[in-house]
């Protein structure tokens, strides 16, 4: 069973995703901020990371950069899940190595699952 790490600071949103993921039979790990996220990545080496960008402390871009700079972690696919919609952010995120960039207010939980499945193939 694959493990998915959800890095999201809003509790309600985080639990919604978790609930949806649980139905698809994934192992779920959670982090509420960037530092906790990095710790868990290093410790658990998940199969995929769902990464929010606006986080307390270090933001999602920094987390992404750190992961991709670490040869042991850089292979893990990262899907950005954020409300920052401007093109400049999308390009920055994809430029840093994310495999996909999803906008929360535009996407549905079902679609998130589809994207995760696609990335894990």
Partner 1 sequence: MDKNPSGKIKKEKRILKKQKKDKLNIDKDQLDAIYQISQLLSFNVDKSLQDVATELFNTLGKALGSYAFAIWKADGNFLRIFIVNGLGKDYYNYFIKNPISLLDPAISNTALGRAAIARQPAFVPNLWEYPGIRSLPRSIIEAVQKESFNSVASFPLIIEEKLFGVLNFYFLKTQKYPPSEKYILQAAANIMSIAIGNARYLQTPKDTQAALLNILEDTETAKNKSEEEQRKTEIIITNFSDGLLFFNAENKLFLINPQAEIFFGVQGKNIIGKSISELGNLPVFAPFVNFLGKDLKIIFRKEFSVKENLTVELSVISMGTDEKKLGNLVILHDVTREKVVERLKTEFVSLSAHQLRTPLSAIKWTLKMLLDGDLGSLTDEQKNFIDKTYQSNERMISLVNNLLDVTRIEEGRYLYKPALADIESVIQFAIDSYEDTIKEKNLKIEFKKPSKKISEIIIDVEKMRLAVQNLIDNAVKYTISGGKIDISLAYDENKKEIEVQIKDAGMGIPRGQQSRVFTKFFRADNALKTDTTGSGLGLFIAKNIIEAHEGRIWFKSPAFIEKNAAGKEEEKGTIFYFTLPAEKEFNKFLKLL
Closest CA to 77 of 96, 59, 58, 90: 96
CB of 71 to partner 1, least distance (A): 32
CB of 45 to partner 1, least distance (A): 28
Structure tokens at 49: 């990371």
Q: Which residues of 61-96 are buried (b: 16+ CB within 10 A; e: fewer)?
A: bebbebbbeeeebeebbbbbbbebeeeebbebbeeb
- Among 2, 83, 97, 100, contact with partner 1 (rule: CB under 8 A): 83
- Among 57, 70, 72, 85, contact with partner 1 (rule: CB under 8 A): 85
Residues that bind partner 1 (CB under 8 A): 10, 12-13, 16-17, 19-20, 23, 83, 85-88, 104-106, 108-110
């Amino acid at each position: 069973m694959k493990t998915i790490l959800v890095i999201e600071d809003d509790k309600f949103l985080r639990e919604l995703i978790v609930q949806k993921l649980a139905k698809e039979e994934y192992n779920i790990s959670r982090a509420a901020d960037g530092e906790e996220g990095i710790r868990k990545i290093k410790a658990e080496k998940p199969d995929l990371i769902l990464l929010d960008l606006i986080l307390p402390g270090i933001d999602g871009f920094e987390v992404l950069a750190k992961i991709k700079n670490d040869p042991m972690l850089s292979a893990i696919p990262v899907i950005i899940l954020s409300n920052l919609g401007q093109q400049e952010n999308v390009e920055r995120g994809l430029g840093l190595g994310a495999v996909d960039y999803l906008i929360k207010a535009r996407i549905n939980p079902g679609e998130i699952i589809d994207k995760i499945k696609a990335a894990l193939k």
